[in-house]
Amino acid sequence: MTADASTGSEPAHDAVPLGPESLTWQYFGQLAGFAGGSVLQLLQLMHPVLGHAVEDHSTVRSDPFDRLIRSMGPIYGVVYDGPHAARTATQVRSYHERIKGVLPDGQRYSGLNPEVYHWAHATFVHGLVYGFSELCGPFTRAEQEQLYAESRQWYALYGMTMRNVPETLDEFDAYWERYVDEVLEATTASQWLLDIFARPPQPPGFEWIPTPLWRLIRIPGAHAALVFTAGLMPPTARERLGLRYGVVRRLEFQVLRHVVRTAVRLTPRRFRYHPRPLAGWKREAASRATTVSRLIRQSEQSAKQPRSSGTAAAAAHTPRL
């Protein structure tokens, strides 16, 4: 792993935004993904460079919800903004231009270092391919491969080099395991974030709740967050963070996963999505003179059509989470 301040930018003129026909549109923007959102944040901050950069440049300690609120809308936009997706991707990338500094060992770092930038993206990809398979699936291996191919199309919009991006899902799986085993560590930032999950402060809009009452309300929510974190976290990373995952917690995870799956099935399609992705569905539905729910159903039916006779019926594959 390198941490130097070099960047690897390339023109994104040929990058094509994803649309409603993609599997990524169906799943990435669903609110169910927030059940595993803690895992993505922790895995990002376990990267020694990214974790240090967040400590240097983020207000996350004084405002734990700021980074999540600021980043998720634009990241959703790179997928769901249609004709404006490339512009949104440029904006997201520009946020990282000012992120520069020096690590404790004297190495310089940059938020546009290709290896570090791609790791942050990789956590979203892994969550989409495997996390959503746990929460909304299971997905077949063919569906997982399609989601990964679409993630490369999505990443190309950032204009970063594609030379360090695995070409296939099998290659991505190998890259992921190597990174988890050899690169990630229990950084100060990741340990602090884990403490926040255990004792979350009042989020924006809920300051009116008296503090003693909030401390009671947060107990079941914090416990559920820790259960999902332990259940979806790669075992090696889980051990480094000291997360318990014994028999009881495994059972709790299975129960909560079933609750999420059931909630998704029972929720009308248009209400499953975060507002930014839903705006994309509304835009596309209006352009096709149809409703959001009908367009989502059409997209689901289209995605069920086999794309190749050799892979369409492949069994679901779940590498080490």
User: For 231-242, how does the pLDDT look when each residue is reduced to its tens digit (9 = 90+)?
Assistant: 999 999 999 999
Beta bridge partners of 132: none
Tokens of 208: 């009116």
| Those residues with Cβ within 8 angstroms of residue 181's Cβ, 6 or more apart along the chain or in another chain | 236
| Those residues with Cβ within 8 angstroms of residue 217's Cβ, 6 or more apart along the chain or in another chain | 209
pLDDT band (50, 70, 90) for residue 316? very low
What pLDDT is recorded for position 94? 92
pLDDT band (50, 70, 90) for residue 313? very low
What pLDDT is recorded for position 319? 43
Given a cut of 70, is residue 1 above it in pLDDT? no
Query: How far does CA 85 lie from the centroid of its chain?
Result: 17
What pLDDT is recorded for position 61? 64
Given a cut of 70, is residue 74 above it in pLDDT? yes
Mean pLDDT lowest among 250-264, 287-301, 302-316: 302-316
User: For 100-112, how does the pLDDT look when each residue is reduced to its tens digit (9 = 90+)?
Assistant: 888 888 889 898 9
Taking residues 69-77, what's their average pLDDT?
83
Query: Percentages helix, strand, coil for the chain, rounded to the nearest 5?
Result: 60, 5, 35
Say how far apart CA 274 and CA 184 lie, in whole Å. Answer: 30
What pLDDT is recorded for position 196? 86
What pLDDT is recorded for position 271? 93
Neighbours of 277 (CB within 10 A): 23
- Return the higher-pLDDT residue of 61 and 228: 228
Of the candidates 279, 230, 219, 221, the one whose C-alpha atom is nearest the C-alpha of residue 81 is 279
What pLDDT is recorded for position 4? 54
pLDDT band (50, 70, 90) for residue 98? confident
User: For 283-293, how does the pLDDT look when each residue is reduced to its tens digit (9 = 90+)?
Assistant: 999 999 999 99
pLDDT band (50, 70, 90) for residue 72? confident
What pLDDT is recorded for position 259? 93
pLDDT band (50, 70, 90) for residue 127? very high
What pLDDT is recorded for position 66? 62
User: For 149-197, how does the pLDDT look when each residue is reduced to its tens digit (9 = 90+)?
Assistant: 999 999 999 999 999 999 999 999 999 999 999 999 999 989 988 888 8
Q: How much is the pTM?
A: 0.87
The whole-chain average pLDDT of the chain stands at 86
Q: Which residues of 194-213 are buried (b: 16+ CB within 10 A; e: fewer)?
A: bebbeeeebeeeeeeeeeee
User: For 11-62, how does the pLDDT look when each residue is reduced to its tens digit (9 = 90+)?
Assistant: 444 689 999 999 999 999 999 988 888 899 899 999 999 988 888 776 666 6
